[in-house]
Amino acid sequence: MKYFYLSIFFLIASCKTAEKRFTAQQIIDKTIAYSGADKVANSEITFTFRDKEYVASRKKNGKFLLIRNQQKETMEVISDIVSNDGFRREINAHQFPVADSMAIKYANSVNSVHYFSVLPYGLNDKAVQKKLLPSATINGKEYYKVEITFSEIGGGEDFEDVFIYWIGKKDFLIDYLAYSYHTNGGGKRFRVLKEQCVKNGIRFVDYHNYKPKNKPIKLIDIDKAFEDNQLIKVSEIVLKDIEVRLLGS
């Protein structure tokens, strides 16, 4: 009987181990499915972020239109538009010429907000490179830890940026993310789930946004720094008035 119970013990242990042996690709696939982000590819999404209206139209054939609308005190409406055709700025629906250097800046700004708004959508783009890091525990919850980098070809202006996602081992949802960036002197940020909601099957998340207080912190260790109170909150990332329309197949 002793050998029987030992066999059962090792069988259960091996099954549990096998259940958790996911690759970085499999984990990303699961978090995209569990969060409903796969629906983003054929949708129209609008929201407000920091008093600006954002509109995104994405279609399965690869066509996309990303817009940021802001109304000035003069009642002018400035629309910054990124699409498959590039960037353009409109003022009161009339195209307005913009220097190439500023067009790149505006386009990156629009892209960034839309990119973060629908994560993990986009993490299977061709330029994305995935690496599974050692698992982590934050506030008693176990997470897969996946590092995302980008190839230079197709990786955009900020291809050198590095991201890390903390994905729940049971729910496969992103509760934390961190990134290092090089623009404007560079830096690191760590985002902590504040609130979440689901619109038409797609999960949207608001975050508390932190940065290191003083001493240099490696991006891979920033979760430990958070638990050790070595980060300081700098802002909140809150999406308001979210509306989602799923397009037909």
pLDDT at 150 over 50: yes
- Tell me: the pLDDT tens digits for 172-210? 999 999 999 887 778 899 999 999 999 999 999 999 999
Under the banding of pLDDT at 50, 70 and 90, the label for residue 158 is: low
Q: What percent of the chain stands above pLDDT 90?
A: 80
Give me the chain's average pLDDT, please.
90
> In the predicted model, what is the mean pLDDT of residues 122-143?
96
**Model pLDDT, residue 11:** 47
DSSP type of residue 112: H
The pLDDT > 70 percentage for the chain reads 89
- 10 Å CB burial of residue 132 (0-12, 13-18, 19+) is middle
CATH class of 22-246: mainly beta
Residue 18 has pLDDT above 90, yes or no: no
Position with higher pLDDT, 52 vs 157: 52
Picking from 17, 64, 12, 15, the residue whose alpha carbon sits closest to that of residue 42 is 64
pLDDT tens column, 72-127 = 878 899 999 999 999 999 999 999 999 999 999 999 999 999 999 999 999 999 99
The domain locations on the chain are 22-246
1 CB-near residues (< 8 Å, 6+ apart): none
The number of beta carbons lying within 10 Å of the beta carbon of residue 224 is 13
| Confidence tier at 17 by pLDDT (50, 70, 90) | very low
Q: Is the dihedral of CA 54, 239, 178, 198 positive or negative?
A: negative
The mean pLDDT of 208-220, rounded to a whole number, is 93
Look at residue 20 in the predicted model and tell me its pLDDT.
62
